[in-house]
Structures are given as C-alpha cells and as structure tokens.
Amino acid sequence: MDTAAAEWTVNRDGSERRGARRPGVWFAVLLFAGVSVVVGCRVADTDGITPVPQFLAFLPWLLVPTGLGLLLTVLTRWWVGAVWGVVLLGLLAWFIEPYGKSAQPAGPVLASFRVLTSNVEFGQATGALVETVRRDKPDIVFVEECDFACDAVLKRDLADGYPHREAVIAGGSEGSVILSRFPLRGTDGVPGTMAMPGAVADVRGHDVRLQLAHPMPPLPGQTDVWRRELGALRDYVSADEQTPTVLAGDFNASQDHAAFRRILDAGLRDAARLTGDDRTPSWPTRTTPTFGAQIDHVLLSRDFSARTARFLDLAGTDHRSLLVDITLHQRG
C-alpha cells in the first residue's frame, strides 16, 4: 500500500488518526509532478509546450523545489515519494553538467581576435556599449536590438575604429548590427522576425563566416516561431562546414533547450563552455549573477579555441554582454 494513503498519527488519548500528514504529502506531489514534466522533456530531448521551454531555461534552479519536496517526504515519512525525489535530483544533477564538446584545436595559429556580443534592449544601452567597446577594444561586435537611434550613435562614435559594418536597421527590438575592424562581405543572413544579418570577414587573409543570432524568445503561443528560427540558425551552420564560423548573439535559449543543443550538434562549440563559464547567467541582469540563464552565446566552429570569456554588465539593458578572446587555427 502507498504510505501516502495510509499515514497515521497518535492522539493524546492513544487512538490513531489517519491523514494528519496529507497536506505535506500532497504539496510534495505537486512539486515533484511539476519538476517531472520539465525533466521528462529534457530526458526526451524535446522542448515541449508552454510553460516547459520557459522552465527549461532555469533547469538548475529546479533543484530548489525538488529539495523542498524531498524534505517534506522525509518529515511525513512518505518513502515512495522520497525515492521519487532522489531520482529527480539525480537526473537534474546529470543534466546540469555542461553540454557540448570542449576539445580545443592545437593546430598552427592563423589569427587571434576579440569578439563582443551585446543586446542593448531597444537601444537603451547604446552609450554603455560605446564605452565598453572603447575600453575593451573588441575586433568584431555583434549588437542586437539596435534601433534607429542606436545605429546613429554607433556610426557617429565608432566609425573610425570600425570602418566595416553589416546592418539591418529597424525600430524597437528588430534592428541588428555587426561592426568589424576586418573587411566584410555581406551575406543574406538568416531570416527571422528580428534581424539576423551575416557577413564573411577577411581576418588577416582568412575567410571567417559571421552570423548574428537573435531568434524570437519562446513566448507563450510563439514557441513554434522560436523553434523554427533556431532551426534556421542550425541550417546555416550545416550549410558550410568548411569555412571557419562565428555565430554570436542573443539566442533566447540555453544549453537546456533541445533546439539550441541541435545547433551545437551541427558542429559548433560554445566559447563559454570552452573557458569553463558555461553556467554563468547572462539574463536577466536584475538578478544576475546570482540567478538567471545563459542565453547570450558566442559559438565557434572547430577551427577556433577560446582563451577567455567575460560577462559584462551594461547599464540600460536586461542582458549582460559577452566578451571572448578566440584564436583561429589551421585545420590539422
């Protein structure tokens, strides 16, 4: 018999009373059931439907309700539930481990340069971005949510240091810009609700594909759009596996989303994974670095190694910027 349905306590007169512990048991059931749905989708390698994609972004934090539920099972002596909780904890611990390959190339060095990606939230953090670029001197800058005013400021303040650009200028969150010290040759980019421009950079005589990522977030009712646009980024990677590639931006997805893992499986490595910073939150800034999800990424083809990755706080945006130092190697 399930002990959840047969709990007894002793009254002062010595008689037994059934069901006194049931509120704690039912609360534990609710906690475990919710976590089980999310973890089950992770096991099945699917993002499911709303609200599963939203909860998957914060998968490590599901340890909190699972731990609370496990404590309740111990206090109520519901041992079947305790086993349930231990299994959930084990699965969460397994999936919290970094995903993706971490081997770095060791071939001859062709070029080293610095990449920055920054979502400036409707252009509100443009001034802070300009200061960061002047201070840290990245060679290539990916800017998401760069509206008309943002673009005008970048042209005015950074044109001398970054003479090459590929941009789609629009209002609100739809505009995006790639700035570069290296010559650029524009490409069609990846189609999306928000602009995702692309280019090929001439990095000291070597072609490097550059693609900005900014798919739709997994909003309720729009998760199909989110999956489709992440799938388009995966297709972009698969279309050319020979040219060195840098895919960077606000992916609105973490390593716990199946649609994002498929981009990695297409042949890319996450720079933050290579440097040991794979679980550093980048959004939302009001709770990072204590709490959040890493949804801003710099992804690299196997031609690149990554030396450092730093998440930077910029005033005016809900995203942290990501600055990485990378090296292009000759394929062995």
The pLDDT tens digits of the residues spanning 265-286 come to: 999 999 999 999 999 999 999 9
- 55: tokens are 């909860």
**In the predicted model, what is the mean pLDDT of residues 64-93?**
96
pLDDT value of position 16: 43
Q: What is the mean pLDDT of the chain?
A: 93
Q: What percent of the chain has pLDDT over 90?
A: 91
At 24, the pLDDT band (50, 70, 90 cuts) reads: confident
Sequence-separated (6 or more) residues with CB below 8 Å from residue 219: 226
DSSP string, 312-331: E--TT-SS-EEEEEEEEE--
- CA dist 293 to 51, 56, 58, Å? 16, 10, 6
Residue 206 DSSP SS3? strand
Residue 8 has pLDDT above 60, yes or no: no
**In the predicted model, what is the mean pLDDT of residues 158-179?**
96
Alpha helices (H) in 97-200, listed in sequence order:
126-136, 148-158
**In the predicted model, what is the mean pLDDT of residues 191-201?**
98
* Strand locations in the chain (E): 8-10, 16-18, 109-119, 140-144, 164-168, 176-180, 184-186, 198-203, 206-213, 245-250, 268-270, 296-301, 304-312, 321-329
Residue 293 has pLDDT above 70, yes or no: yes
pLDDT value of position 21: 66
**In the predicted model, what is the mean pLDDT of residues 150-178?**
97
pLDDT value of position 160: 95
At 236, the pLDDT band (50, 70, 90 cuts) reads: very high
Residue 301 has pLDDT above 90, yes or no: yes
At 233, the pLDDT band (50, 70, 90 cuts) reads: very high
Sequence-separated (6 or more) residues with CB below 8 Å from residue 208: 182, 200, 201, 243, 244, 245, 246, 328
pLDDT value of position 22: 85
Domain 109-329 has CATH 3.60.10.10: yes
**In the predicted model, what is the mean pLDDT of residues 21-25?**
84
More confident residue, 1 or 10: 10
Q: How many residues does the chain have?
A: 332
Contact 311, 321 (CB under 8 A): yes
- Extract long-range pairs of 231-236: CB within 8 Å, 24+ residues apart: 231/259, 231/262, 232/190, 232/191, 232/192, 233/190, 233/196, 233/263, 234/259, 234/262, 234/263, 234/266, 236/190, 236/198, 236/211
Q: Is the peptide bond before 284 cis (omega within 30 degrees of 0)?
A: yes
Domain ranges of the chain: 3-96, 109-329
CA-CA distance, 88 to 64, in Å (whole number)? Answer: 11
Residue 224 has pLDDT above 50, yes or no: yes
* pTM, to two decimals: 0.92
At 11, the pLDDT band (50, 70, 90 cuts) reads: very low
Distance of CA 29 to the CA centre of its chain: 30
